[in-house]
Structure 1
Amino acid sequence: MNVSDLFEQAIAKRQHLLDDATNAVRLFDGSGDGVPDIFLECFADRWILSTRDNRLSNDIREFFLHSGKTVYWKQLDQHQKTDPSHLAGPEQTNPFLARESGINYEISFQSGYSQGIFLDQRDNRKRVRDRVSSGDRILNTFAYTGAFTVSAAMGGATTSTLDLSQPYLDWAKQNLSHNSIDPTAHYFCKGDTFHWLRRFSKQGRKFDGIILDPPTFSRDDKGKVFRVEKDYHRLTDLAAQCLNPGGWILASTNCRKMSDQDFLYEASRRLPRHHKATALPMPEEYTGERYLKSLWFDL
């Protein structure tokens, strides 16, 4: 089977995921669809092609040139992470809205390496929305553009959104506004997650749910290094200190070095003994590498 046929087959079998409520999904998932290191994502009928190679074969290029879609190409694992480049169809130079589970999210193909939402967290965002109720207080750490924030707010929760980047916090506010939610009714904190968790703990500020989705590696302003594979327990330990009785933690990582069992051990080893841990699967269209590991802790 040629590459064009593989693309067409993969796209066809995912059409049931696309409807009025959701128009942002992964359409092609590398080895799971027959071609390693090539991925295709749809955002409101615009496509992002991601590859680990810095060249495209002629047959792949021809498929997208004749697709009739706006297509941008992102090269993965670059040392210098830049905007995706225009590959085919009309250019998309302005931000636009995509929908997921009935929620609007602002997408930009000119925002650097990431376009505004990580599609592999779709089911987890729905789990958060389904779990919360009116009056719950939810903390979204490492929040990026606040997709989990919006999901929790749509469920009736009052949210606190934490990120190092003011532009991303502003983007999160825009995402709330795109869903007719007043950002001024919610809280936004700029800074380091470890700093804020310690501060919340000292202040006695408690939450009913906390979302943890850190980068695999980071360094704070004092030079202290965080590595998911050996430091995640520091995060869950601090988060647990900020939970109301009966609260929950959603802990995720896309660290490929860790097995599911390693992540469970690392993330839970400082939690109270009575906690319950539930492993969460990736969305159904992710048929290749199961790189995203997610745990729901009920404490």
Structure 2
Amino acid sequence: MQHKLENAIEKRSHLLDEQTNALRLVDGVGDGLPDVFLETFASHWVVSTRDGRLHPEIRAWLQQQAHSCYWKRLDQHEKENPQHIAGPKQDEPFIARESGVNYKIHLQAGYSQGIFLDQRLNRIRVREHSGPGKTVLNTFAYTGAFSVCAALAGATTTTLDLSQIYLDWARDNFRANDLAPDDHYFCKGDTFHWLKRFARQGRTFDGIILDPPTFSRDDKGKVFRVEKDYGRLVELAYACLAPGGWMLCCTNCRKLDPRDFSRMVRDAAPSSTITALDMPEEYTGENYLKSLWVQKR
């Protein structure tokens, strides 16, 4: 196991530099280590396992490394914090970098530490397709990583999430990149409600990000399931998309076949050019993240 872990990390070493110190280092079955995942955040490591246990050999190897290391059990409730297992404790938030962008990371923030690393290439694409005078809407925004990338390119962003905690975190991410949050918009509430409101107001955006959780419940108890409701979400967003604008449509729902996902998006976004996007090269295991770039004609 030690040999596999070291080979996996070495294979990704070319992706780590002054501009990027947050990255997936071990990707499960793709590295010959099924259900074992290792991520680095500015030299702080998080190892995740699916079966509720950490193999003693892996634990022993991690304890020999010069990193603070935490273990996350993927089969547990999302509010459970990762457990400290090696190295110095890092229980306070800190800054990590990806593609030259700063993000606030908190290892004791529950299921996710502040950024989903599998969206690395998509964040680059959003930044490349944003710019001065453009408007970008980031729905289900979590800590606003896509918003930060669009804002760094000069766009005016609207960051939308149900959680005030995450909206405040998003503002922290803006400040971490010398961006003024007051120059942008932050909306608390349900994405479906806000998209209908924007449509009534005649408000459109040059770019829209749709990356919802696989399952969620709004503040009125209404359930959203990607495999059933994603098409309706795209339809509402498309009505708010300016002519010539783009949408990034993503889901990590493993139950949803890529062809069915593409069909849902195509049916809800007529008169568009749709391109399937690849996952980053460091994800050598399951090809679970489905991403489509929708360009409105």
Matched, 1:213 2:211: yes
**What is the CA–CA distance in structure 1 between the aligned matches of 2:78 and 2:249, rounded to whole Å?**
28
The answer to whether the Cα contact below 8 Å between 2:78 and 2:110 also exists between their aligned partners in 1 is no
Q: Pick from 291, 294, 297: which aligns with 1:297? A: 294
Give 1:153 shift.
0.3
- Where do residues 96-115 of structure 1 align in structure 2 (5 Å cutoff)? 96-115=94-113
Deviations 1:74-96 (A, max 9, x none): 00021363110001000001100
Matched, 1:172 2:162: no
**What is the CA–CA distance in structure 2 between the aligned matches of 1:145 and 1:126, rounded to whole Å?**
16
Give 1:276 shift.
0.5
State the one-letter code of the partner of 2:82. Answer: P
Q: Pick from 6, 9, 12: which aligns with 1:8? A: 6
Matched, 1:281 2:275: no
- Backbone CA RMSD of aligned residues: 0.9
**What is the CA–CA distance in structure 1 between the aligned matches of 2:218 and 2:67, rounded to whole Å?**
41
- Percent same amino acid at aligned positions? 63
Q: Pick from 250, 253, 261: which aligns with 1:252? A: 250
Q: Which aligned segments of 4 or more residues in structure 1 are displaced greater than 2 angstroms?
A: 219-225
29-38 or 257-266: which moved more?
Answer: 257-266
Aligned to 1:24: 22
The answer to whether the Cα contact below 8 Å between 1:229 and 1:266 also exists between their aligned partners in 2 is no
Structure 1, unmatched stretches of 5+, are none
The answer to whether the Cα contact below 8 Å between 1:252 and 1:292 also exists between their aligned partners in 2 is yes
**What is the CA–CA distance in structure 2 between the aligned matches of 1:228 and 1:277, rounded to whole Å?**
19
**What is the CA–CA distance in structure 2 between the aligned matches of 1:220 and 1:71, rounded to whole Å?**
34
Deviations 1:136-192 (A, max 9, x none): 000000000000000000111000000000010000001000000000000000000
The answer to whether the Cα contact below 8 Å between 1:216 and 1:253 also exists between their aligned partners in 2 is yes
SS in 2 for 1:269: helix
Matched residues, number: 296
Structure 2, unmatched stretches of 5+, are none
Aligned to 1:122: 120
* TM-score, with length taken from structure 2: 0.98
**What is the CA–CA distance in structure 2 between the aligned matches of 1:240 and 1:252, rounded to whole Å?**
15
